[in-house]
Structure 1
Amino acid sequence: MDLEHARATGVAVVCIGETMAALAPAPSASLENADDLRVSVAGAESNVAMYLADLGIPVSWLSAVGDDALGRRVLAEVGAAGVDVGGVRRDPERPTGLLVKEPTGSRTRVHYYRGNSAASAMGPDVLDDDRLGSASVLHLTGVTAALSPSCRSLVATALAVPAAERPYAISFDVNHRPALWPPDTAATVLRELADRADITFVGLDEAQELWGTDLEPDGVRRLLPGPRLLVVKDGGHAAVAFGADGRWSVPALGTDVVEPVGAGDAFAAGVLTGLLRGGGLERALRLGHITAASALKVTADHGPLPDSARIERLLSLPADEWAAGAGQLAVPVRDGAPR
């Protein structure tokens, strides 16, 4: 993954997946009694893209939206974050997907209205976009695989190409959304897809839900031996990474959580940025923790990052000072996935 090459060609990462308009009450309000709902946008892959852009990584997002007001809002917000949205298709016949957030104590329940959405009609032809020819990384998630048979074919087709035959590495975040999967299908499909990627992200909680309640990070690695880099987000304890040269663990430190949705996407963007910059895996994992904090502190999926000087100071701390020095920014990386 060559960042200088990526900057020269104008794209380092391509993210593919659905982004919806999102409605949510204020954090302290209930959906039933709220007088007003905040409009934002929500999508795992565009979340990653926006954080990559925040971190200075050239990034494109490929998807489809309806030729409607919500689709125009999605394109405007993602594009305003510095993401190239020129490859997003506008579908005149299908709508932009919609989700409604319902805060319920420490978790957020999500109601989806995305059946027959524009993005659910995506298929393997999305991979023909010229942007992929100059990308260093293609980022996909298990959300896309759950949307429709054609979307699952898109993800499977991308992952079926041997690494030696494509110019980019494939990053895959399991991102298990139980509400999107038919019964008894997610575990097998997601394991097969995750094991084919070059870089795989998975939360320990979702790995336990999918593949066995007694799993620990090392057990996840045994289940997924294929990725060159496997990152297991172990709740409030650590992010554990497995690569060809060994095993790394970087502590996750607490922060006040407004809403957990989007933190896993921010974490993935931070890690990918660290890998593209070539500063080493421990530094990449630290950047993942720092980036995730901005998502945990806001009700939207995308929040403001600390300034670059503060991030650099934290990244440069000796290992024994990381916990004390990063306590206000590094975070427990939870999947935060809507259930």
Structure 2
Amino acid sequence: MIRFKKQYAAVVLAVTFAFSSAGLAVLPSSTVYAADASGATASISDILKYQQSDGGWRKDYSVTSGDWAKSTIDNKATYTEIRRLAAEYQKTKNSQYSAAAVKGIQFLLTMQYANGGWPQIYQSSGYHNHITYNDDAMINVMILLDEVANKKGDFSFIDSTLADKSRNAVAKGVECLLKTQLVVNGQLTAWGQQHDSVTLKPAGARAYEVPSLCAKESVGIVKFLQTRPSTPQIATSIQAAVKWFGAVKLTGIKVVKTSDDVVVVSDPNASPIWARFYEIGTNKPIFAGRDGVVKYKLSEIEQERRTGYSWYGAWPSSLVN
């Protein structure tokens, strides 16, 4: 999630939905989405240079004040730097890289809440403190730590103590996933895009990201749970989420571009799609503009938000028969 200009993709000729084969059309060429954090393209020397004293990395290395100058896991920050450092160590055997990677891993362990969740930004304020599933931030951290725990791939150099700590962190994270799955009318459903770090209830972030059930991020959670040794609780969680995906799929419509807009049109032959956000209690697709007012049609929010956000997708298609 990005609130400043630099973090948007400055050069985007065309953006497509990731699941266009499922009936989603290409978005207008003017559409831009959040760019990856600096660590995705920075040189290894800059990754070393910009590692913060706590062991993490900023999203944008050029930002020096405010919440975004703090270490974060947003937009692939920190866990990407760790991966790149580990890979560089395996190529060079330069201990400077392995030491920085270890420091980054230790930061992720420190960043984790006692309840098992991870915030978007470390020691921050407002919605940045929420347990953050948005853009798979927490799930990507858990995937990384699971590799560290098993000394997998580039992380073969990790010592057993850090591996054990990482394993425990993943286990705590799984507990958090299970605790935050929302029960509605007595039934387990799915997850919010972010959850309050104290109450564990779905929480809002930016004005147009209202408390809701989120199809996109819930898919990443389910797929991670599928990699865990099965327990009755995990099996029940997965089954309930998949059932919910099936219940809220949208048929008979597709998302189409115009010259400068994104519209929803009828199409009886279209493959199922899902809204990103669903209203808790009704399972109605919901949308919001920068005023934060919930609407029930994409056409009811401003054009800038219609074209500047992933409101629909086929994310659960591989999980639902």
Where on the TM-score scale, by shorter chain, does this alignment land: which range?
A: 0.3 to 0.5
Higher strand fraction (1 or 2): 1
Normalised TM-score (structure 1) = 0.32
Normalised TM-score (structure 2) = 0.34
